[in-house]
Amino acid sequence: MARPRKFDEERVLLAVRDAFWDKGYAATSLDDLLQASGLGKGSLYGAFGDKHTLFLRALRDYDNTNLLALRESLESAARGIDMVRDFVLGPAADPTGAVSRRGCLLANSNAELAASTPEVAAEARRSYDAITAILTEALERARREGDLAPDADPADTARAVLVAQLGLVALGRTGEAPDTLAAAARSVLTRLLPAAAR
Amino acid sequence: MARPRKFDEERVLLAVRDAFWDKGYAATSLDDLLQASGLGKGSLYGAFGDKHTLFLRALRDYDNTNLLALRESLESAARGIDMVRDFVLGPAADPTGAVSRRGCLLANSNAELAASTPEVAAEARRSYDAITAILTEALERARREGDLAPDADPADTARAVLVAQLGLVALGRTGEAPDTLAAAARSVLTRLLPAAAR
DNA sequence: GCGGTTCTGGACCGAATGGGCCATAACGAG
DNA sequence: CTCGTTATGGCCCATTCGGTCCAGAACCGC
């Protein structure tokens, strides 16, 4: 019927996500987005709407990708506890610290925008609730597999695990030395899930 | 000698801090700052320098106040463990959720700016290191008072406690229901410091 | 009361912002 | 090949940004 798009929508979304991730929402100008995506103003605007809409779209994409990866991680884990351990240790896993320093797009965005942009806070709640559900499932499995005390409540433990991971992400974002970060991760993991620490 | 200042520097700093706290650094315009402080451009600029400098000043003020309060809290605590418990439960203590939703200025700022403004990340590290030291002292005392297992390492435990608190602050910033937040706080506290949970 | 100095707040500036617009190009259907 | 449709990207605009500057006001010591 008509002229087809020259760009791959998903690719643009990833480039835009990176731009927002690196500079934050407010500090990323339309120009930055155009340069990152390689598109012209009309194209970007026509395909995704204004900056705000585009940002939310990229953020939701990011979240969905993460949730999917988490679910897959649980399915492919040898034991339920393994997935939980990886989840907690993840933010401290990078020996160079570069990944940790970048933080999590959702956490960064929520911290920056929760007060002024309810959609971001809502997205964060949605994401964290979903993660809690996945962790709960993982911990139920871990209990059946003998890696979690029979009297421990999986849902309650899941909340504690999520909190620990959020804390590690926040701490990693400060650029704390990788060793310190790893020590903190190990410390909190040992106390929350002794069976996962060895 | 000359005309004295009409405004109280500390008062202005608090007003400015609130403005940044509510909107984030980038989204707060000079106009916002003038309105919040009630000063004219020349006065604010002359007294504090540009936006960036003013922000760092307000942030450091905020940090120092927090650290001082934490030290006082330790000194006035009946037991070392009480101070640690209050520190962890703090972010979830507000039944309306308004305080939690506001988050922590330092955490918000670090999440927004760590990548682009090294001073902010450095300030966060400084603050978190200082908090860890205070917590370590509190936990050493708690161990002497029988509220921490003799074989537990206070410094290591302090790191875990800090991570938990940062996680709760991050979770609270999403606007999660106060009940859920309180449950998460209680869950993580029970697991990190059984003696503090009752 | 006077002089000198500092404070004050608004006028002003250039630059950059987010967003709208449109002439043109590129394509598929017929 | 032609036509209609849609993507494209650069041009344009009003607004707002952070920051400078200055004329006048306010105050102190003398």
Report the pLDDT averaged over residues A39-47.
Answer: 90
Give the pLDDT mean for B152-160. 98
Residue A188: pLDDT band by 50, 70, 90 thresholds?
very high
- A161 has pLDDT over 90: yes
- Residue predicted with more confidence, B2 or A193: A193
User: Which residues 74-133 of chain B have a CB within 8 Å of chain A?
Assistant: 101-103, 107-108, 110-116, 121-122, 124-125, 128
In sequence order, which ranges of chain A are alpha helices (DSSP H)?
9-23, 30-37, 41-48, 51-76, 80-89, 98-102, 105-113, 118-144, 154-173, 178-192, 194-197
pLDDT over 70, % of chain B = 98
pLDDT at position A3 is 67
Mean pLDDT, residues A142-155 taken together? 97
SS (H, E, C) B104-160: CHHHHHHHHHCCCCHHHHHHHHHHHHHHHHHHHHHHHHHHHCCCCCCCCCHHHHHHH
Q: State the architecture of A7-49 in CATH terms.
A: Orthogonal Bundle (1.10)
CATH architecture, range B58-197 = Orthogonal Bundle (1.10)
pLDDT digits (tens, 9 = 90+) for B179-189: 999 999 999 99
Smallest CA–CA distance, residue A175 to chain B, in Å, is 7
- How far apart are the CA of B5 and the nearest CA of chain A, in angstroms? 34
DSSP B74: H
Q: What is the residue-averaged pLDDT of chain B?
A: 95
Q: Mean of the per-residue pLDDT values for chain A?
A: 95
Fold of A59-197: Tetracycline Repressor; domain 2 (1.10.357)
The per-residue pLDDT for A6 is 77
The pLDDT, as a whole number, for residue A143 is 98
User: pLDDT for B157-167, tens place per residue?
Assistant: 999 999 999 99
DSSP string, A116-134: T-HHHHHHHHHHHHHHHHH
Question: Which pLDDT does position B51 carry in this prediction?
Answer: 96
Residues ≥6 apart with Cβ < 8 Å to B57: B13, B48
- Residue ranges of the domains in chain B? 58-197
d(C-alpha B75, C-alpha B70), whole Å? 9
More confident residue, B42 or B4: B42
Ranking B18-22, B37-41, B139-143 by mean pLDDT, the lowest is B37-41
Q: How far apart are the C-alpha atoms of B83 and B74, rounded to whole Å?
A: 5
Of A113, A175, A191, nearest to B192 by CB-CB distance is: A191
User: What positions of strand C are covered by protein, i.e. any atom < 7 Å from a CB?
Assistant: 4-11, 16-23, 25-29
Query: Which two structure tokens, joined as six digits, stand for A98?
Result: 């570069």
Residue A13, token pair as written in the block: 């979304």
Give yes or no on whether A7-49 and A59-197 have one common fold.
no
| Residue B5 binned pLDDT confidence (cut-offs 50, 70, 90) | confident
Residue A86 has pLDDT above 90, yes or no: yes
pLDDT class of A40 with cuts at 50, 70, 90? confident
* Cα–Cα distance for residue pair A175/A76, rounded to 1 Å: 31
Is the distance from CB of B32 to CB of B20 less than 8 angstroms? no
Task: Measure CB to CB from residue A115 to each of B22, B121, B171 and give the nearest one.
Answer: B22
The closest nt to A46, taking CA to C1', is: D7
